[in-house]
Structure 1
Amino acid sequence: MGDRQNGVVRGRGPGGRGRTRMRMDDPAFNTGKRKREEEGDPVLHLMSLVLRIGDRLRKDTRPVEEEIDEVAKRTRRDVIQTILDCSVEVGLKCGVYATLVGLWHADEEIIVTALLDKACEGLNEALTTGDRYRARLLLRLLAALTTTNVVSMQSMFSMLNSMVTAAMQTLEQGDKAEASRRLQPYTDYLVYSAVIALPWLAPELQHLESDPEGLTTFSSSVEQYLSIRPRAAQDALNPFPAANEDETVASLGHGGGASFLPQLWQYTLELKENQWSLLGVPSYSQFFEAQLAACKPLELPELIVPLHPPGVAPSLAFPEAAAAVLKAYPSRGALDLQLSVNKQLVTSLISGIDRIVAQEYVIDTIHYFDGDNNELARRLGIALPFPDIPDPKILAAVVQETIFSQLLRLPESELGVLAYAKVTTNLCKLSADFAQPIGGCLKALKEGMGDTDPDIALCVAEWLALHINNHDFIWSWHRWESVLDLPPYDPTRHFVATALERTMRLSFREFHLQFDPTLRRERVPEAMFELLGPTPSARPVKQIQAPKLAHRGDALPQGPSLSERLSVWLRDSNVREQIGGDLVLLKWLSRCLLTIGGRSIGHLYSYLDRHEPIMNELTVSTGDQGEDLLMDEATSMWANSVQHTSIIVDHLMGKRWVSGAAVLRWLFGSKAIGMRSADDAMECLKCTDILNNTVARVLARTQDDKEIVQAVEHELQQRQIALQALEPNADVDGDQAMNEDSPALTLAQQNVTNFEPTLAEARAHLQESQAIQNSVMLQVYQGYLSLLADASLDGSAADDNAPMEDNPVYSAQDSQKAWRKRTLAALGAFLRKHYLSIAHVASEIEQ
């Protein structure tokens, strides 16, 4: 349940983060009891008007200027904080709220002065705490207030210039090599926040005969910063870093990293040459020109910009500090996917700066309305302030392009794949204009699969599977049949195979082979199933040649007390010695359990849980050999099923029967085909899934231990506070407030003393988990290096004229080159995806 603060309905989105959902603009929201409450409470009614003002979500809306004029005539002292919150969280209506404040300025300057002071105080606080969204949007509000004659132009440019100056001073703190790796994400953010505020100054700048002095100074500062910044591009933050001469996604995408800021500045200069005319920032000040012109603009207080990234301790080692800065100030995320589909159409109907402004609206709306799917879709699909755009389909294309850009933002996206799949699905249900751009974006992404890494391809494939699952599994698979003619190691073929495999997980293979009357064809062409290999099924394992034990093994599925009887039987007899020790017994028992549970994953979980005590005993006694044996048995049982194999291995890790080190030994050994060859897409996908699940589980254990330590420390702190409140204190007369032998004081002391070992134990567990995590990270890195250094897998050692067995057209040399390229890309994706953990390991190595 959400709670109401200042007329705003607050809820919680994914990951436990607070999200704001503005639902008071819905006509149904203001009926019945809510409407009667508003009529009885003038303040609540005024807040409701403020929230609904300027919304384009209702069909029976009046002109915006009439709504502004009505609200401006009401009492405004009680809604200052509401105005600030709405301007930030509903950034689509920033110009509306700026005009409203401008009309208040004409009547009562004291209230507007208080609002400006509160806005600047909030801006300083956001910069100090690292709230990058709120800081940037409050700066946008102040720029919009300049157009309504509330803030002086010179004062506004002075504030923007102070941010750029602070960025240059931050870079000058260290040498260029250090700044490029550690400080530049923060300084780029400061300059980006200042430059992106200029479009909201455009309505005022286009009426000036000459550029104001502050603009000239600001432009010089930005160009000076661009000239001294150590890194002009950052391929590591581009999902498609391979550049080529053709206009493909690889050459047009920059990922929103270091190269985005020069592009933004170039678009801003083009806006200036175009007389500051743009579509995405509507102005309402012309309707109240006489009232606004009569006001005297106010001066802004000095802006305090931290010269060190907030939240990043200066004592951190260099690698950890660089990773922490990138975590706090990630890349913006930007891909020009639609340009590769129809460049002439997009560029002719919407300018570059308008595309940037539209992207800003989309990014901010997704951030603040995550968790309210319907409201988010309505605001992105209906409420974007582009009333004069020539073709609404172009705006829909930019929206979908931005969503894909956020999905593929590196080093990590803000939300998960499921969240972005819900957004695109709801948009398609809202309007058919949003469906067509998805095909264009996916076409561009599919063409760029040869220039990216397997992690990006897997992300897009998972999104596609979720998306078509929400549309009755309707997709034009027949247009992708051409991938069957590609070599088995081709990245595009791997991507389509991965997307199809993820789709099959959400349904049944037989369902997709059925004829669909609406499509007049099968949902998936039967030939496409060649990419998936044979139908997944459990392979029966061979029985050990021990008749007596095999006979007793046949009795395993009988009765709920079988596990206890089996444990007693194994302890009371010479079974282990007869068959060759615990290792052979573990092999026999694991094969029996895997065979019995082969009907489904649920059956397997049930039998493994039932025999957990004896399995725990055997895995402890056999050590690494037992873990390696379990990996061999588990991966051979469902060898032709990616999903079942990854689930079984993950469950074994959850039971602590198999460690992360054992899984990695299997992956980088000789038995994991997908790690040593790129000719089988399903084998490669299986290894990728197992590796991702293994690392994720190891990281989750460390995170759980960290949370336990924090909870124990908090509990101990509370007990110490309670003890301090009961300890004897001398008053003025020297009398003690409480006897030292008081039972309450003794009990409080015991509570603290008895709880201290719990904290020590929790910290020991955390230290152990952290050591295991570091070991796993190093093991993965060394495993990739050993694969790449293996002479038997080196493409130079292969015979270029040796044909492949499946298709004589493709040489073994091409296959090995493709495998080497894929392996290098997978290593880079691993280092990028887990950059925080890798940085921690690197810091320890340097120390």
Structure 2
Amino acid sequence: MDYPGGRYSNYKRTNNGDGSRRDRFGPYKGNRRSHYYTPPPKTKEEELEERLTSLLVKVGDKAPQTKSNLEVLVTVLEKEYHDNKETILKGLKHCITELPMKTSIYATLTGIVNTKNFDIGGDILSCLSDAMDEALAGGNWRSVKLLLRYFAELVNANVVLPGSLIALYDGFLRVMSEPNPRMERVDAIVYIVLASIPWVAPQLSDRARDDFDRVLQTIEGYVSQRPAIAQASGGQVVLEALKINRGAVADDPYPQLDFLDLLWAQILDLRKDNWETGILLKPYSYFEDLFNQELQHELREFSLPPDSESSRFPYQEPKFWIFDDSLIPEGKVHLPATGTIARFILDDITSDIIHLFPHNHRECANYLLALPDFLNTQYIEEHNYIPLETTIECLYCELVKLPRSQEKSVYYAMLLGNLCRNAKDKAPSIFARALKILYARLDSREGAHAGTDVESIKRLGEWFAHHLSNFGFIWKWHDWEPAIQDPTSAQFVFIRETLERCIRLSYYERVKEAVPESFQSGEFPIFPSEAPAPVFVYEDAEQCGDAETFALATELLAAMNKKKPIEEVEAILLRISRHGSGMSIDNENAMSTDDAYTDGNGAQLVRDVFLQCLLSNGCKSFSHILNIIERYLVVLQKLNRTSEARLHSTAIIANFWRHNTQFLEIVLDKMMNYRVIDPSSIISWVLSEEVLAEHYSRWFIWTTLKNILSKINLKSEQIQIKLAATRNRDEFSTNEESLQLVQTLENSLSTTNREKKEAFILVFQRFIDLITRYIQSMESQGIVPQNTIWWRWVVGNFREVGRNFEKDIYTMLVTLDAVVFTDHIDARITQIWREIKQMYQRRILA
């Protein structure tokens, strides 16, 4: 039965148990009104607009009927165009820029319309030209690429002449003649031009060969000069800071070709095949006789936006391969060879679909599975291609992309989950095979000191844990048992940390049932033998090691449990402090209350006992811990007046929750919110030799550091937003209260920005001190520091901080160079810093 609100609403009716019924809003009382809003019926105009939009979106979905569907749609558009011009043009614009697999279909539609009504064809071209102007002005390079590809397809549909498209190419390529153009700006434009050529190359070669060859020669000249251009600007084509594969040898696991170099090689390969792509669908071929009779339009001239400090361009990153025909045995890859244009076409369309549906993973999955229907099916079947392999590869590529993925990892997890459910016969096996290939590449062929970038490994593990949680933690874990013999390998770390996140997403016993017993035993257990729990040192006298301290801690815990007044709690703390200082605990004249919180060993013992008892009392839930922090906030603040005290408190909290890192991250965050500890104390704890000697590869350590820096940034951003809103109020200029609020916010922003600057300086200074001491220690033992696992993880996270906080660090470069990265620092450290700065200089659009 369909309840009010529609079949798929959350409306429920259940029995009360006495024969009556109730719904989610209370007892059922007969003919009560539905609590669901019923929208008014649609007008005829609204229904027609919805129908026209639907027709535009769905055209071409059924490949065998594409020709007839286009003819029917043209008839409808002709009939309705006069009364619904804006709806049709708007719908067509969105379809072309948001459905990249149908570019040729919409160009063919435009061609048919143009033969029927030249003026409508002109309106469509004008509308899409306006869209190009808008995309260029806004730096929306994906839309620019798709619109240029549409204009190229218009040549196939004879709506525009080849010469008109060549003129458009020439206009774009004039970017090379600008004075001192940035490499990434020229790269972006050249890539966009090249990315349209496969769709129109046969026409250009046949009808405008000389001009087409000239365009290609211009591009070839630039591509050949790129290494020299990059070197002249103090960098290289492939940025070292953004390499996903950090092999000990240059081609580990394969040569690092960036997108532009690879596409140019694929274009040259296409030219050898006389420009025949094979894989592309050519719906315009159905109407060649009709198109030969039509009149053409001129493409307008477009102006590239001037370059500026705020301009961002896509980074031509190294191409990320999983199903590489040169590495995987023949017959195991069901995709075109990596050097062919067919592979580019599959990769490019798939990537665009993934990026264009970030808020609808179900619809995205449906389009990805239907992708073969928008290509030459006969060609795909003849070559035994499985485009779903490209989809899985692109998803992994986005997951590990540096400096950051375009969407949150949960989107890719949900998308892959939908693919596995909707294509049960193919997707799960492809997904598993791809992950096994990536798993094998986590460590370099030459050892565990090199391999996949550590940030990419973390992202992969966090995503995999999310995926497992949706599929019952089912995996062939036994296949990974060899990794448990080497705790230094990235494979060991990947499994350990993924399982820890699985526990966070579920619970210990549930995950324990899914993994082999070998994971929980042996010399290097990779799965914890017990469920995550706190470590309360004062739980028993033997563990405490001091009967007097244990008795006092027991008394304190009892007082907290009974919610005794702060005065009674402080009296116990005073006695603890006296004991820690070697005094008689009952000598009231031996120490004052203030001394109890600041006096040497006594204060340290008070801090340790008090914090552990507080955490033990509040460990039942997050609400418990928040309540007890608020209850004893005054005491906590007295105990943490100095930087040394705050660092000590951070270490106590970390030790208490060392077996439950999720609680550790949360409690540290809450303590910072209450100003019990501060960012500096957490940073100093994370980047200490003692912590990293044991935990350099633990992800919670680096997540804690990253979260602290993110929180500092968020605070600054929130103040800036509030300040801007206050300044924009109408009464600002005359309202004294608003003026005072602005002054307060400006002061607060200045303080926050100063704290942020100090935090980043501290982070880099700590990294430098750590790495410098490590270099000295290793070299004194005759060990090359760069060939160690510690270097891989610590330096890798140094890079991650630099990549993730580009906007903030960029504003501090002068200070960091003058204060932190001075001339006396080891050249290996300054080289890493130089690589990070080269990334900043390229001003990459992630």
Whether TM exceeds 0.5 here: the answer is yes
1:244 corresponds in structure 2 to: 249
Shift of residue 816 of structure 1? 7.8
Counting only pairs closer than 5 Å after superposition, residues 248-259 of structure 1 correspond to structure 2 as 250-254=253-257, 259=258
Question: Using the alignment, how far apart are the partners of 2:517 and 2:509 within structure 1?
Answer: 10
Q: Quick one: structure 1 residues 551 and 479, their matched pair in 2 at CA, closer, same or farther if it must change by over 3 Å?
A: closer
| Amino acid of the structure 1 residue aligned with 2:812 | V
Q: Quick one: structure 1 residues 569 and 228, their matched pair in 2 at CA, closer, same or farther if it must change by over 3 Å?
A: same
Q: Quick one: structure 1 residues 342 and 791, their matched pair in 2 at CA, closer, same or farther if it must change by over 3 Å?
A: closer
Question: Using the alignment, how far apart are the partners of 1:269 and 1:479 within structure 2?
Answer: 42
- Secondary structure of the corresponding residue to residue 775 of structure 1: helix
1:841 corresponds in structure 2 to: 812
Question: Using the alignment, how far apart are the partners of 2:725 and 2:345 within structure 1?
Answer: 43
Question: Using the alignment, how far apart are the partners of 1:43 and 1:204 within structure 2?
Answer: 36
Shift of residue 566 of structure 1? 5.4
Shift of residue 599 of structure 1? 4.3
Question: Using the alignment, how far apart are the partners of 1:406 and 1:339 within structure 2?
Answer: 17
Counting only pairs closer than 5 Å after superposition, residues 351-750 of structure 1 correspond to structure 2 as 351=337, 352-384=340-372, 385-386=374-375, 387-388=377-378, 389-390=380-381, 394-432=386-424, 433-450=426-443, 451-486=451-486, 488-514=487-513, 526-527=520-521, 530-535=525-530, 536-542=532-538, 545=548, 550=553, 553-558=556-561, 562=565, 576-577=593-594, 579=596, 581=598, 583=603, 585-619=606-640, 622-672=641-691, 675-676=692-693, 681=697, 684-715=698-729, 718-719=730-731, 749=734
Aligned equivalent of 1:337, options 317, 322, 333: 322
Shift of residue 492 of structure 1? 2.3
| Amino acid of the structure 2 residue aligned with 1:55 | D
Counting only pairs closer than 5 Å after superposition, residues 51-90 of structure 1 correspond to structure 2 as 51-56=57-62, 63-74=65-76, 75=78, 76-77=81-82, 78=85, 79-90=88-99
Identity rate, percent: 20
Spell out, residue by residue over 1:166-202, the C-alpha distance to the aligned partner (whole angstroms, 9 max, x if none).
1x134x42xxxxx6xxx32222111111110112214
Question: Using the alignment, how far apart are the partners of 2:435 and 2:129 within structure 1?
Answer: 43
CA contact 1:105–1:150 (8 Å) conserved in 2: yes
Counting only pairs closer than 5 Å after superposition, residues 57-206 of structure 1 correspond to structure 2 as 63-74=65-76, 75=78, 76-77=81-82, 78=85, 79-166=88-175, 168-170=176-178, 172-173=179-180, 183-202=182-201, 204-205=203-204
Q: Count how many residue pairs are aligned between Structure 1 and Structure 2.
A: 723
Q: Quick one: structure 1 residues 815 and 73, their matched pair in 2 at CA, closer, same or farther if it must change by over 3 Å?
A: closer
Shift of residue 461 of structure 1? 0.5
Aligned equivalent of 2:219, options 183, 203, 222: 222
Shift of residue 524 of structure 1? 8.2
CA contact 1:243–1:251 (8 Å) conserved in 2: no
Question: Using the alignment, how far apart are the partners of 1:37 and 1:344 within structure 2?
Answer: 59
1:15 corresponds in structure 2 to: none
CA contact 2:164–2:299 (8 Å) conserved in 1: yes
Shift of residue 825 of structure 1? 2.3
| Amino acid of the structure 1 residue aligned with 2:56 | V
| Amino acid of the structure 1 residue aligned with 2:66 | V
- Secondary structure of the corresponding residue to residue 414 of structure 1: coil
Shift of residue 72 of structure 1? 0.8
Could you list the runs of 5+ residues in structure 1 that have no partner in the other structure?
1-31, 174-178, 314-323, 724-748, 801-812
Spell out, residue by residue over 1:566-615, the C-alpha distance to the aligned partner (whole angstroms, 9 max, x if none).
589999x9862574548455444322201223445553333224333443
- Secondary structure of the corresponding residue to residue 337 of structure 1: coil
Question: Using the alignment, how far apart are the partners of 2:567 and 2:103 within structure 1?
Answer: 69
Question: Using the alignment, how far apart are the partners of 1:145 and 1:210 within structure 2?
Answer: 14
Q: Quick one: structure 1 residues 233 and 587, their matched pair in 2 at CA, closer, same or farther if it must change by over 3 Å?
A: closer
Question: Using the alignment, how far apart are the partners of 1:162 and 1:343 within structure 2?
Answer: 45
Shift of residue 628 of structure 1? 1.2
Spell out, residue by residue over 1:46-72, the C-alpha distance to the aligned partner (whole angstroms, 9 max, x if none).
23211221124xxxx861111100011
Shift of residue 356 of structure 1? 1.6
- Secondary structure of the corresponding residue to residue 812 of structure 2: helix
1:819 corresponds in structure 2 to: 790
| Amino acid of the structure 2 residue aligned with 1:233 | V
Question: Using the alignment, how far apart are the partners of 1:294 and 1:547 within structure 2?
Answer: 97
CA contact 2:774–2:785 (8 Å) conserved in 1: no
- Secondary structure of the corresponding residue to residue 712 of structure 1: helix
| Amino acid of the structure 1 residue aligned with 2:708 | T
Q: Quick one: structure 1 residues 275 and 610, their matched pair in 2 at CA, closer, same or farther if it must change by over 3 Å?
A: farther
2:738 corresponds in structure 1 to: 755
Spell out, residue by residue over 1:287-344, the C-alpha distance to the aligned partner (whole angstroms, 9 max, x if none).
11121111122111111012415xx35xxxxxxxxxx63xx53446731111176363
CA contact 1:411–1:832 (8 Å) conserved in 2: yes
Aligned equivalent of 1:768, options 736, 739, 751: 751
2:24 corresponds in structure 1 to: none
1:47 aligns with 2:53: yes
CA contact 1:338–1:401 (8 Å) conserved in 2: yes
Question: Using the alignment, how far apart are the partners of 2:517 and 2:89 within structure 1?
Answer: 56
Q: Quick one: structure 1 residues 283 and 839, their matched pair in 2 at CA, closer, same or farther if it must change by over 3 Å?
A: same
Question: Using the alignment, how far apart are the partners of 2:550 and 2:412 within structure 1?
Answer: 56
- Secondary structure of the corresponding residue to residue 556 of structure 1: helix
Shift of residue 561 of structure 1? 7.6
Q: Quick one: structure 1 residues 570 and 686, their matched pair in 2 at CA, closer, same or farther if it must change by over 3 Å?
A: closer
Shift of residue 91 of structure 1? 1.6
Could you list the runs of 5+ residues in structure 2 that have no partner in the other structure?
1-37, 231-236, 444-450, 539-543, 575-587, 819-846
| Amino acid of the structure 2 residue aligned with 1:460 | L
CA contact 1:102–1:149 (8 Å) conserved in 2: yes
TM-score w.r.t. the length of structure 1 is 0.78
